[in-house]
Structure 1
Amino acid sequence: MSLMLNREQGASLIEVMVALLIFTVGLLGLAAMQLTSLQSVADSGQRSQSVWLLQDFVERMRANPAGTPAQYAAAANCAALPNPMCADYFNPNTNTKVNGSQCSATQMAAFDVWEARCSYTGVANFNPNDARFNSRDYITVPAQGALIDTTVVGGDLVLSINWANRSATTTTDINNNRVLSATSDGSTSDVRILR
């Protein structure tokens, strides 16, 4: 009768721990890639909406050739709705469409600037039940500047579009809340309009 030695082989505890460590590092890398992907999707959404609003503003300027660059560079009073309202709009309080006023080129330029630079939610007497929003309401504006900055340079109107991207640096306030840094405006793009 021969004596058979039974040698069992298997992984030691150290080998299992090393494999678990490698697997964990891989999962952390995968999670970091997923977070970066989500951040990029949010940034591209902000960029797309911002560019769309800039294109809308430029088309409004083209539709009002009598408007001057200085009129389009003027600051808008974002605390109140524009007066007169130069375009048709829906009044949710009365559940009716309200016809826009007949506006001069100057009034139309002021209305266009308000539509591009201001938000319905920023109006002092804004009522969330009114359900009046524009695309501007959904874009995160940087800490400094406006969504669309307008300046006149040598008779040309220069438009700058700004949005706060998700990769912008954050700081903490006195209550330990995360806030966008004032120096981190996200992204900016300039367009020169020749008149």
Structure 2
Amino acid sequence: MGIFLKQLGITMLEVVISMFIISVGLLGLAGLQLNAIKDSLNTARQSQTAWLVSELVERIRANPAGQANNYNTTLTTENCKKPVKLCLNTSPNQCGPAEMAAFDIWDVFCGEASQNVLADAVESLKLSTLSISCDSDCAASQANFSISLSWQIQSIDSQQADIEKQQIVMKVRP
């Protein structure tokens, strides 16, 4: 007759294997969470840059005398200088169309914080280039504009130098 021994617990090997399987699963979930956060931040940046482009379109629309040539520009983070005349909260007669256009471009792209309102989209959104060009019929009031705004997205690992650029381009008729 054979003697049968009943197992009265789990072995150490079974515990180690279970812990390994659980840790692999948790690491996978952590990676998914990290990607979800990165994609969420990228989507928020894209939404904010679309808002900035819409803001610029509204300002072009509000300055019809400055539409023809004054908004044609390419602005980078290096040449983000304050305009000579700040046209914020001034009467319309104090700023000409060209001065208003220069202020609009600077205020939307570069700007500065005032009255506890965050500005400086260049730094907060990692913007790199703003390009505005008149596509056709620039002298007419129905000019077509292309507005391009690009920004940087850094990889998940902040130690890596992988910086990719994203861009939003809107073709508008203000």
TM-score w.r.t. the length of structure 2 is 0.75
* CA RMSD across the alignment: 3.1
- Tell me, which stretches of 5 or more residues in structure 2 are unaligned? 139-143
Correspondence 1:138 to 2:140: no
Deviation, 1:70, is: 2.8
Q: How does 1:33-48 map to 2 (within 5 A)?
A: 33-48=32-47
Deviation, 1:178, is: 4.1
What's 1:64 paired with?
63
Write out per-residue CA displacement over residues 40-64 of structure 1, whole angstroms, 9 at most, x where no aligned residue.
2211221122111111101001101
What's 1:116 paired with?
108
What's 2:131 paired with?
149
- Residues 64, 105 of structure 1: 8 Å contact kept: yes
Distance 1:73 1:30 in 2: 48
2:147 aligns to what SS in structure 1?
A: strand
**Amino acid aligned to 1:57:** L
- Tell me, which stretches of 5 or more residues in structure 1 are unaligned? 89-98, 122-129, 171-176
1:50 aligns to what SS in structure 2?
A: helix
Correspondence 1:162 to 2:154: no
TM-score w.r.t. the length of structure 1 is 0.68
Write out per-residue CA displacement over residues 151-185 of structure 1, whole angstroms, 9 at most, x where no aligned residue.
33334321112222344898xxxxxx64454xx21
Distance 2:156 2:148 in 1: 18
- Residues 67, 109 of structure 1: 8 Å contact kept: yes
Correspondence 1:87 to 2:88: yes
- Residues 60, 66 of structure 2: 8 Å contact kept: yes
Compare 66-75 and 40-49 and name the one that shifted more: 66-75
